[in-house]
Structure 1
């Protein structure tokens, strides 16, 4: 009979062989989702159910995605109806990825001089002066009209049932309570959110039926416009766009503008009437035979593409997952890509024209890859010169020299890596030994809150081949509601800059789109859908998504394993959100957040390479993803274990 030690040896060999075979193995906290016909994943269980309802009623992935979008906005899943929508769609008949730009624009009067006259270094974080024009209602109508199959009434039905009253979740209820002092500044917000005004707890309680009568009326008006158009003999698409017109040009628009201006906002009727969503060409690069698609440079999405181009020049698999060399190389590549993002990205429909073609070229990636020192962090990672590849003089050479003086590379100063909405404290290590905690966990929470601010993400796919990836946002709590519309206004104006020294392509101007952090992703292999993935988390989004993609492609993880796997975050970049002065957003050289599961040896080596190390329970926003199993013709769903995100498959 075999001895215990012999049996143990056989077991360990079997485990080792399994790990070698799969490239990576871990027990996930959530099981992977499996489906043959469809998959619906988003930020709240009830909202995922809304998507499932549309699928069960015969809708396609676009219908389901639009239903989830409407539901998450109604549930204030760190966004509202007045926010913005960014989407990538795979069209199975055209065999093409389609990009939808439904980001609002800066309103009339939103100029550099206006905000500087009020003492701002950046546009404000909250209130009516933080708002771009709403984009989500228009984006939803456009996607549904052009690529869906259902009526607006069908798609909005779950959201309208929620607006009539749904049991509010603890996360949202507590967010309202935490923000109640700010909410009290805005009369329409106070009426909606502070349902127990004057009591100790003024916001709703978890599980309480939360009613939004004004929002319900707004959604009903849109449905009424659609139904009226159908009765008049209009087609499905025209009828949906009649609802669009009522929101942007009719009585809904009039009340939105009135409510905004009453509270000090700048948005005009002309701003709403002149705005429209834009269908664009998606950007993409090829990494090891996989075409990865992102939205254009009005988002930070191309930074992931640049990072992949740089990382082509390194053998990541040989380095080993989350080894010191792997972490260092990925960190350096991201820093170079984000340095370019910080300076060169902006609205492509405004001048100066961004040099995105050169930034995404293989030749430029080779230049940037050679800048990586394999043994030391580059504390002075700066924007490159994509114009040189075109044989042109960089028109901003002088700005780049002057701008370098803004970056403080000597004091990372990180004491706290805890976003306000995360309950798990991180541990600052700096030059101390593992586990030595600092006494102060509050000094830098505002910075980390700005870095990792969340939104939601939406992933949908069906057996006919339609795929949708959306990262909507804006109008998060505490939100300023515009009049009796029930619609919370966006806070995206803060992603502009007021000084070309920070970014000459992203200086605020009326009618212009700010460069946003929001970044859905699609990947094709052999011309067929391979991955659909997105995440919440401000400037960390494309950091997290880059590593998720590498987890699958380089280390053979399933989408659930990859969504739960340890992540790293770099803070050596300019923040896109929050802060009242330049110092609030400056890069922090060598600042590196690691998951507490990273090995001691790797941490010690990274410290010797010039990093200031912090450990945390949470190192990524909730990642949602769908993997397309071409071998078995099935769908795999992954949804991270560190949020309320949830998926349903069939």
Structure 2
């Protein structure tokens, strides 16, 4: 199998992420004696600066981690909740039938800061000032502008100039989009983090006291005050085409805190895969495994027509259950993962592609699906102001021409003591909401994943988490910690991650080979993002797959859309494999790297 770079092997530490500056930052922490948790936090804050079009301080982060001291996997939930005022009636009273994909109405409590701080406090060893120093440096002095950053800002230049002047002040230096290869700084964000550090150090002389004070500054102090005032006293045009203020208040931020949870797990051929619970889409990975264990993937040609068809049809069934059953509520996960349920569901996988959305009835419960918009794509949405396309909407991954428009970030770390982290920070993209001028960042738009329909698991309810797509992954092998992995990609995350996992387990590939292998995914089920369109039967596949396979998939009824050769999937991974630590990272987009020794 051709690889773009070697699988890294060593015994000291490994960091893999979607940007080389974050990977280098994390490795620098390991070299200076920090553990995997210190390294992940420092790298996570650098990602906010290096990839501002993919995540930001106003976003969120779910984390899966292995603590060698505790000998267990834990989930850190850095996903904020809907404001207390965010009722269905409040939105429908504004004439909305769907939460806008941009702007202040789509904001939930920004959970990333709390999630990173909780992990640092409980499992890390470094001080607040030390982990924030790299991000402050890059925000103050600037980062190299990736082509994708330049293209993203250029695509919303008119929006910023006409409708979001605070964003123009931050992201249009000299009044225009920065050129690729130039340097872009965010001194206001640097000042925000410097003030957090200063207030924390003034409040306490201990590491723990400073971390607690930092959280207070963010969720009860000057950061919360600026966010609350911005939501209450300003209004901005969003993807609905109308001008709206926000609903987040200081009380909303003060009431929220990050939490630690037990993962949901599934055993598959000697591997125990760990995911978030169904407030995120993570269990859909496990449901796919539960269905696939009844098929002989080892007897199929890897990436052959039988293999791609089977994995795709299984994904359609699992994601249909996601649509009907997942949310921040009581979800029948035991039934969804039971062998009896999946034995029946497996019978629905036929010789031809399905064009139906077919959720199941776990435990005899009748499924209920939302009232979806007519099938289509996000590009069908109305513009923010007239004819302009709704830039900043949703979490687009790869356009039909193969260009990456926006996304998420991911990072993985393993240290010499055996601690491991898988984290998927996202939200608060520079293009998603107007910048809060005193802070240098914007709020997230994750509330667009709620439904403005009563009685659904993912219905909008105050104080609940949106059913996010963010889904880091962790796996044990024969009961021992083995693999931390994940990818950006919105609805594709638990397809691309699954394909990577299957490539290692069934395809016999190493980490880098599995990352580099041709990728595919289904667009059959409704999008989690505004305007929630779907493309039944559509299958995206890289053109590196054998054309005979593509032809056979079309013969079986799939609406195959062939994508460019290196366009789908942005995986990274680290592993503990016997005496060695290993890592690999995605070459697509020319920015993800793994480092280690």
TM-score after normalising by structure 2: 0.90
Which residue of 1 is the match for residue 546 of structure 2? 599
Seen in structure 2, the aligned counterparts of structure 1 residues 178 and 645 have a Cα distance that, compared at 3 Å, is same
Instruction: Give 1:363 deviation, angstroms.
Output: 2.1
- Is residue 2:537 matched to residue 1:590? yes
Corresponding residue to 1:87 among 56, 63, 83: 63
Equivalent position to 2:87, from 106, 111, 125: 111
Contact kept in structure 1, 2:282 and 2:471, CA below 8 Å:
yes
- The reply on whether 1:206 has 2:174 as its aligned counterpart is no
User: Residues 511, 534 of structure 1: CA spacing in aligned structure 2 closer, same or farther, 3 A cutoff?
Assistant: same
Tell me the residue number matched to 1:22. none
Trace 1:392-403 onto structure 2 (pairs within 5 A). 394=365, 396=366, 399=368
Equivalent residues of 1:43, 1:77 under 8 A apart: no
What residue in structure 1 maps to residue 451 of structure 2? 497
Residue matched to 2:472:
520
1:257 aligns with 2:195: no
Question: What is the distance in 2 between the residues matched to 1:421 and 1:303?
Answer: 19
What corresponds to 1:60 in structure 2? 35
| 1:371 aligned residue | 348
Q: What residue number does 1:312 align with?
A: 293
Larger mean Cα displacement after TM superposition, 47-56 or 81-90: 47-56
- CA distance in structure 2 between the aligned counterparts of 1:251 and 1:381, rounded to whole angstroms: 47
Residue 326 of structure 1: CA displacement?
0.8
Q: How many residues align?
A: 567
Give 1:7-22 correspondences, 5 Å limit: none
Is the CA contact 2:99–2:448 (under 8 Å) kept in the aligned structure 1? Answer: yes
List aligned pairs for 1:19-58, cutoff 5 A.
26-58=1-33
Q: Distance in 1 between matches of 2:160 and 2:53?
A: 17
Q: For residues 413 and 531 of structure 1, do their structure 2 counterparts lie closer, same or farther at Cα, with a shift above 3 Å needed? A: closer
Q: Indicate the residue corresponding to 1:616 in structure 2.
A: 563
Residue number in structure 1 paired with 2:419: 466
- What's 1:166 paired with? 142
Please state how far the C-alpha of 1:407 moved relative to its aligned partner.
8.6
Q: Deviations over 1:421-462 (max 9, x none)?
A: 757726xxxxxxxxxxxxxxxxxx9xx97xxx5100010110
- Higher mean Cα deviation, 51-60 or 617-626? 617-626
Give the counterpart of 1:101 among 77, 87, 90. 77
- Match of 2:46? 71
2:171 counterpart (193, 217, 230)? 193
Q: CA deviation at 1:131?
A: 1.0
Distance 1:344 1:45 in 2: 38
Give 1 or 2 for the bigger CA radius of gyration. Answer: 1
Q: Is the 8 A contact 2:408 2:489 kept in 1?
A: yes
Deviation at 1:406, TM superposition (A): 5.5
Deviates more, 1:44-53 or 1:136-145: 44-53
Map of 1:287 onto structure 2: 268
Equivalences for residues 379-394 of structure 1 within 5 A: 379-388=355-364, 394=365
Alpha-carbon deviation of 1:151? Answer: 0.4
Contact 1:71 / 1:162 at 8 angstroms: preserved in 2? yes
Per-residue CA deviation, residues 84-115 of structure 1 (Å, 9 max, x unaligned), is 01000101122100001110111132221222
Q: Which residue of 2 aligns with 1:560?
A: 512
Distance 1:542 1:207, change over 3 A: same
Aligned-partner Cα distance in 2 for 1:273–1:420: 31
Query: Over the residues paired in the alignment, what is the CA RMSD in angstroms?
Result: 2.3
**Aligned residues of 2:328 and 2:465 also touching (Cα < 8 A):** yes
| Contact kept in structure 1, 2:288 and 2:318, CA below 8 Å | yes
Matched, 1:629 2:577: yes
- State the shift of 1:544 in Å: 0.4
Query: How does 1:106-255 map onto structure 2 within 5 Å?
Result: 106-170=82-146, 171-184=148-161, 185-197=163-175, 202-231=176-205, 235-255=206-226
Q: Distance in 1 between matches of 2:358 and 2:502?
A: 24
Task: Give the C-alpha shift of residue 121 in structure 1.
Answer: 2.9
Out of 585, 592, 596, the residue aligned to residue 645 of structure 1 is 592
Query: Unpaired runs of 5+ in structure 1?
Result: 1-25, 389-393, 427-444
Q: Deviations over 1:272-300 (max 9, x none)?
A: 00011111110010110100000110111
Change in CA separation of 1:508 and 1:567 when aligned onto 2, cut-off 3 Å: same
Q: Is the 8 A contact 1:283 1:294 kept in 2?
A: yes
Q: Is the 8 A contact 2:9 2:580 kept in 1?
A: yes
Do structure 1's residue 340 and structure 2's residue 330 form an aligned pair?
no
